[in-house]
Amino acid sequence: MGLPPLSSDEIARYSRHLLLPQVGMRGQQQLKSASVLIVGAGGLGSPIAMYLAAAGVGRIGLVDYDRVDVSNLQRQVLYTENDLQAPKAEIAAKRLSAANSHIRVDGITGQFNSSNAMEIARGYDILVDGTDNLPTRYLLNDLAVLTNRPYVYGSIFRFEGQVSIFGMPDRPCYRCLFPEPPPPGAIPSCASAGVMGVLPGIIGSIQAAEVIKLITGIGELLAGRLLLFDALEMRLDSVRIGKKAGCPVCGTAPTIRALQDYEAWCGSRIGQEFKLPPTPFDISPLALSKLLTEKMPVVLLDVREEFERQISTLTGSVHIPLPELLERIGELPVDRKIIAYCRNGIRSQEAARLLQLHGHSDVRHLEGGINAWAAIVDPSIPVY
């Protein structure tokens, strides 16, 4: 099949690509005939989609189930204050179509999961990672390997990012690198750990560059290499990663021949922050509020870090960060009820468990943390 010709409008528009000997007319035509599916239209998805649309990738699909939240605007540059609460995929598709009328953009609002991934991804040449969770990464990887398509991987945490290309012939896949997911909750998300706003801009732009190189067949691809970026040290490392003969999906005797249940595999649900199962230590914000109005003599123990106390605190609380709890346990009275709290109830549950293990019999922790308290009991406290 021949490559589509460029109109004179397109030739003017893509002049700076056409001037590059490595891209030229043929490369720009390849871009025009290419189709790319971006899964996740958030921090990574924003720059990926904006640069690929500007570069003239002929068909771009964008999948996201989420709506625009005010906390997204710190890094998700596809959206504006006018878009709050609107579906991301819809807004993004409008914005990209407005940026480049020569391309086709499909915004798909909904979950991307094992039951619809094959169908949604049908017809796209390249799969690109804009997701914020592990289950969707394993899904994208397996889909890419099973259908012989490249998967352009990117992932971020706080100030650090990773980029690679998986699913290429004779090159490793995501499962070759990470055969097993970490235990649920071991690796926090941006929602719970924070992220430098410009970081996904850098990582997503590198992903977009790899997509353009893949389409035009130029340069050295990141397949078989993992790029590591650290914004604090401003350091870029590239390490070699190998294909594993025993890989269950791309190895010599694969056992994975169809898409799996990835949420079960990773022990986490997409779109939900990790929650610990209920324990006898839990106390709800309303129950705690009742205790406090009854003037019960309790110790409120804040186990968060110092910088978090500058955002919000409960009046009269004592402060021992979770990592220091065991060293400083002697500072807490043994004959009083202790109620630990943190941001969202994960660290405080661990604190309650540790305190009980070390001789405190009457221990509780605030379910959902100070953010739940702010939502249910005291709206004057900021949620973060």
Residue ranges binding other proteins (CB under 8 A): 40, 42-45, 129-134, 137, 154-162, 177-182, 186-190, 193, 195, 200, 226, 228, 232-233, 237-242, 323
> Measured from the CB of residue 162, what is the shortest distance to Zn ion in angstroms?
16
Which of 86/159 has CB closer to other proteins? 159
Which of 14/138 has CB closer to other proteins? 138
- The gap from C-alpha 162 to its chain's centroid, in whole angstroms, comes to 12
Which of 189/205 has CB closer to other proteins? 189
Binding partner of residue 188 among other proteins, Zn ion, none, CB cut-off 5 to 8 Å per kind: other proteins
> Measured from the CB of residue 138, what is the shortest distance to Zn ion in angstroms?
11
Sign, CA torsion 65/67/73/79: positive
Which of 31/247 has CB closer to Zn ion? 247
> Measured from the CB of residue 337, what is the shortest distance to other proteins in angstroms?
27
176 touches Zn ion (CB under 5 A): yes
Closest by CA to 212, choosing from 76, 317, 60, 82, is 60
Judged by CB under 5 A, the chain residues 250 through 279 that form the site for Zn ion are 250
Which of 58/321 has CB closer to other proteins? 321
Point out which span in 15-23, 125-133, 170-178, 269-277 binds Zn ion (CB under 5 A). 170-178
Binding partner of residue 271 among Zn ion, other proteins, none, CB cut-off 5 to 8 Å per kind: none
CA 161 vs CA 184, 205, 234: distances in Å: 20, 12, 11
Closest by CA to 95, choosing from 45, 143, 142, 133, is 45
247 touches Zn ion (CB under 5 A): yes
18 touches Zn ion (CB under 5 A): no
Q: b/e for 27-49, b at 16 or more Cβ within 10 A?
A: bbbbbbbbbbbbbbbbbbbbbbb
The single-letter DSSP state of residue 183 is: P
Sign, CA torsion 63/68/74/78: positive
Structure-block tokens of residue 89 = 């995929």
CB-side neighbour CA atoms (13 Å) of 200? 28
Q: b/e for 232-271, b at 16 or more Cβ within 10 A?
A: eeeeeeeeebebbeebbbbbeeeebeebeebbeebebebe
Which of 142/367 has CB closer to Zn ion? 142
Residue pair 349/341 in contact by the 8 Å Cβ criterion: no
173 touches Zn ion (CB under 5 A): yes
144 touches Zn ion (CB under 5 A): no
The single-letter DSSP state of residue 82 is: G
> Measured from the CB of residue 38, what is the shortest distance to other proteins in angstroms?
11
Binding partner of residue 338 among Zn ion, other proteins, none, CB cut-off 5 to 8 Å per kind: none
Binding partner of residue 173 among other proteins, Zn ion, none, CB cut-off 5 to 8 Å per kind: Zn ion
Closest by CA to 67, choosing from 43, 92, 84, is 84
Binding partner of residue 130 among Zn ion, other proteins, none, CB cut-off 5 to 8 Å per kind: other proteins
Binding partner of residue 285 among other proteins, Zn ion, none, CB cut-off 5 to 8 Å per kind: none
> Measured from the CB of residue 51, what is the shortest distance to other proteins in angstroms?
16
Structure-block tokens of residue 345 = 């109830």
The residue ranges that bind Zn ion (CB under 5 A) are 173, 175-176, 247, 250
